[in-house]
Amino acid sequence: MRCINKKFSSRAFLSVFLSAMFLTGCGQTQFEMPYKADYEVSSFRIVNPAQEQKTAASFASGLCVVDSDIHPENIELSEGSGAGLFDVNRRNTLYARNVHEKLYPASLTKIMTALVAMQNGSSDMILTASANVRNLESGAQVCGIREGDQMTLDQALHFLLINSANDAAVMIAEGIAGSTDAFAEMMNETARALGATNTHFVNPHGLSDEEHYTTVYDMYLIMNAAIDYSLFNEIIQMDSYTTVYTDTNGNSKELTVNNTNYYVRGEAEPPGGITVLGGKTGSTNAARSCLILLCRDSSGNPYISVIMRAETRDLLYSQMTDLLGEINN
């Protein structure tokens, strides 16, 4: 449960996913309050037929929650951008600005693509590329997959997360769900299950679409779920990746890709005492520059930081470094 607003509206991601059992006299009454984005009843305070007030474990008991900006004056962000800094283990929000505003995620989308793939596929399953891997908008980031190419899901996930390859995203989506549309439905189902109710995906890569959006807070929820997978954590920390897969004729193809994350590549420096473990970049004309990171402090405590819609890439990294500095404050 995310306690965001007292009202239940499009921002109402404070619902409960529970079945609470309350004792009433000698009998037992069950109150079922399934997680619903538009639930019209308070999900934390429940009154039973005997008028006894009870409380139930919240959906967000293990999550950071935030209902307004927190220290927005500390960091100078681009107009219209959003940012958040979340202490994963202590479940504390250290910084928040516009974290519930709907924004275009660009390739931050691929974190959800990886999550759905890891939930529904095995790393050794074989994927075969269709002609759709080439059916992308001009200038889209690709790693060069061709129709008929075959590789494991593990290999495709490396291309997806390290190189932000849109062709790999299509290959994964079709391999898991049969089509990108069906995969997008799986993405949206997963978003709702995580409480990311201000999110709607229409594709697995994040190329611009008016109906493809999320929020800083929802990206925190998605990233928080993804880091439960060791494979995801392993991949996002790699500065480069080399592998061999086969083409439609069975010939071997070797490919090396480099990480798009400047912190992982050593081209950007976090504040002292902060280690950037990895993350995901995103950039389109509509989304501007986006970045989500997993980092840790000198004690090993993990944090998730997000900036969306920075005006330029250089500003993005400058602002992210300032945001990470809040950990030490």
Residues with catalytic function = 107, 110, 164
Secondary structure (DSSP) of 188-207: HHHHHHHT-TT-B-SSSS--
Query: 81: left (phi > 0), else alpha (psi -120 to 50), else beta?
Result: beta
Cβ–Cβ under 8 Å, residues 46 and 31: yes
* CA dihedral of residues 304, 310, 313, 317 (deg, nearest 10): -40
Among positive and negative, which fits the CA dihedral 263, 266, 268, 273? positive
Strand ranges (DSSP E) for 52-157?
A: 53-55, 82-87, 92-97, 126-128, 150-152
Cβ–Cβ under 8 Å, residues 223 and 233: no
DSSP state, 108? G
* CA dihedral of residues 310, 312, 314, 316 (deg, nearest 10): 10
Q: Report which of 205, 222, 217 is spatially closest to residue 101, judged by C-alpha positions.
A: 217
DSSP lists the bridge partners of residue 290 as 282
Q: Report which of 138, 155, 162, 135 is spatially closest to residue 146, judged by C-alpha positions.
A: 135
Task: Say how far apart CA 191 and CA 173 lie, in whole Å.
Answer: 16
| Residue at token pair 């959003």 | 82
Tokens of 75: 């960091």
